[in-house]
Amino acid sequence: MRKSAQNHETLKQKLNPERMPRHVAIIMDGNGRWATRRGMPRAIGHRAGVSTLREIVKASVELPIEVLTVYAFSTENWRRPQDEVLALMQLLVEYLDLEAENLRRNNVQVRAIGQVEDLPLEAQEKLAAVARLTSANRGLVFNLALNYGGRAEIIRACRTLAGLVQEGRIRPEEISPEVFSNSLYTAGLPDPDLVIRPAGEMRLSNFLTYQAAYSEIWVTNTFWPDFTRSDYYQALLAYQRRERRFGGL
């Protein structure tokens, strides 16, 4: 066995299966810096980021984790140069083409969260096709956050609920945290227990703003393309060592 494989296997064995997070969310950051430091175009960093994503999905299936949500494109990412946005959309289409069958075979249920209707048509069609292909799977729920923004999601939920109030289908006092959660893209799923952020930034960047209210956050300086199974297991071990109080004692 290679040394790195040995290292991550050792870490994996330290995990307590009874204290696994149900939902892990990841802000896949640092692709651009990873590429720039190597004198390469940013798009190459995103491509390397897709390889990491493949490995982490595989690791999540094996553990197993119930829900994995990854931040692939934010509502703010449209501000990037047009060629970078285009490269990201092309990578998404390529990823879905290459991985669809593999995800289906591994019992992964793929979903997209965000304003998917504003993505290029080809990306929308591929996402819908993969979602359809994997809809009967009952293993890992894999959410791809695309054109996603936490505030936009909250506003969308408010509009939905306001509409229901207007139609007399729900009374304002019936809007509870549960009802509100069920109006979000992540309806029916547990809130993220753990948010992992590579590349050192200590913020949530509009990711799962409502759902992450009590999430544990784990940050590493490692850029996403260099993020390995060992980093993933280290994040999970750190999570298992923490005491979660949810505001109690």
Binding site for ligand FPP (CB under 6 A): 28-33, 46, 49-50, 53, 72, 77, 88, 91-92, 95, 144, 199, 224
Residue among 28 and 65 whose Cβ is closer to ligand FPP = 28
CA angle, 119 then 76 then 25, to 5° = 85
Q: Which of 7, 16, 29, 191 is catalytic?
A: 29
Of 67, 84, 92, 82, nearest in space to 32 by CA: 84
Catalytic status, residue 77? yes
Maximum alpha-carbon separation in the chain: 63
Of 60, 64, 69, 62, nearest in space to 28 by CA: 69
Task: Report, in Å, the least distance between residue 215 CB and ligand FPP.
Answer: 19
- Describe the strand order of the beta sheet including 109-113 as a list of residue ranges: 109-113, 141-148, 67-74, 23-27, 194-197, 216-219
Residue among 30 and 149 whose Cβ is closer to ligand FPP = 30
Of 30, 61, 80, 64, nearest in space to 225 by CA: 30
Catalytic status, residue 182? no
In the bound complex, which residue of the shown chain has the CB atom lying closest to ligand FPP?
32
Residue among 92 and 161 whose Cβ is closer to ligand FPP = 92
Nearest-angstrom CA–CA distance, 156 and 134 = 26
Task: Report, in Å, the least distance between residue 30 CB and ligand FPP.
Answer: 4
Task: Report, in Å, the least distance between residue 95 CB and ligand FPP.
Answer: 4
In the chain the beta strands, taken as DSSP E runs, fall at 23-27, 67-74, 109-113, 141-148, 194-197, 216-219
Q: Which of 7, 31, 77, 193 is catalytic?
A: 77
Residue among 21 and 32 whose Cβ is closer to ligand FPP = 32
Task: Report, in Å, the least distance between residue 170 CB and ligand FPP.
Answer: 35
Q: Which residues are catalytic?
A: 29, 77
